[in-house]
Structures are given as structure tokens and as C-alpha cells.
Amino acid sequence: MKNVKLKDVKRVWHLIDAKNKVLGRLSTEVVNILMGKNKNYYTPYLDAGDYVVIINAKEITLTGDKNKQKKYYRHSGYPGGLYIKSASQIRSDSPEKLLRHSIRGMLPKTRLGKIMIKKLFVYPQSDHPHESMFKNQQS
């Protein structure tokens, strides 16, 4: 295809099991799907990506000692308002935030990136409400 239009893009649903997968490697795989780089008509200025459902996010692995050493920073905007959490603390609170943060950091920082991240669905266990999308896709 030479000139791809948004109406020509075919969207597919991908189900990815994060059990025993490394965070960074899984994130790059998902970003390529969300951006549409796995398709032969990839265009940087067009949202040609697919939908991605990630299950078992609580069982994702971090290499080395990153579980304790990797820090995530937030600031409230007020003096002394710096909040620091380790990866193990975030994993215990909400494990899907680790994946979402990693994937969001690899997407473009534009309006197009905000559209792409909306096609990502992350769940801590193996149950998810998108079963019907996969059944419709196979028939």
C-alpha cells in the first residue's frame, strides 16, 4: 500500500500472557504492536496499531536486583512533595502500573501516543472482559 488512510487500517486484538516474561522485553514487543510497526504499511504519522490485552501482569519478572533498586518518582508540585516507590512496592499495590509506565515511556510523547495507549488493556490475573473480541476475530 502506498498511501494508507485511517479507514484502510485493519485492527486485530492480541492477547499476551506476561507470566515469567521480562518487563523491558515485553514492553518493546507491545509497543511495536500498538504503533503498528509489525504491519507492512506502517506510517509514523498514522495510528495503524492493534489492540493489546496483557494478562498475568503480577507475574512479570525484573532482571537483576531491580525489584528493590529500581525507583519510581512522583512529585506533587509542593515543596517537599517528592514520593519515591520501589518496583516491589508498586507491584504489591497495582502490578499493572509497572507495565503501563514502561510501555507509555516508549510511545511517542504526542497526541498520537495518547491515542495509542488507549488500545492497551492490562490485567493482573488471567481473567479479562475482552473474551468476545477474540471469539469474533477467529470466526
Residue 16's CATH number: 3.90.1180.10
Closest-CA residue to 121 (of 55, 25, 26): 55
pTM listed for this prediction: 0.89
95 Cβ contact list (under 8 Å, min separation 6): 57, 58, 60, 124
Q: Quick check: is 87 in a domain?
A: no
Write the DSSP assignment of 97-127 as a string of letters.
HHHHHHHHHHS-SSHHHHHHHTTEEE-SSS-
Identify whether 69 is part of a domain. no
Domain count, the chain: 1
Dist CA 11 CA 81 (whole Å): 42
Three-state DSSP class for residue 15: strand
| C-alpha cell recorded at residue 82 | 517528592
Residue 60, sorted as left (phi over 0), alpha (psi -120 to 50) or beta, turns out to be beta
pLDDT of residue 135: 75
- The answer to whether position 13 is within a domain reads yes
Q: In whole angstroms, what is the distance from residue 43 CA to residue 57 CA?
A: 30
Crossing angle for the helix pair 23-35 and 96-106, to the nearest 10 degrees: 60
> Which has more confidence, 134 or 43?
43
Domain extent for 28: 6-63+94-138
pLDDT digits (tens, 9 = 90+) for 34-47: 999 999 988 899 99
In whole numbers, what is the pLDDT of the chain averaged over residues? 92
Percent over 90 (pLDDT), the chain: 77
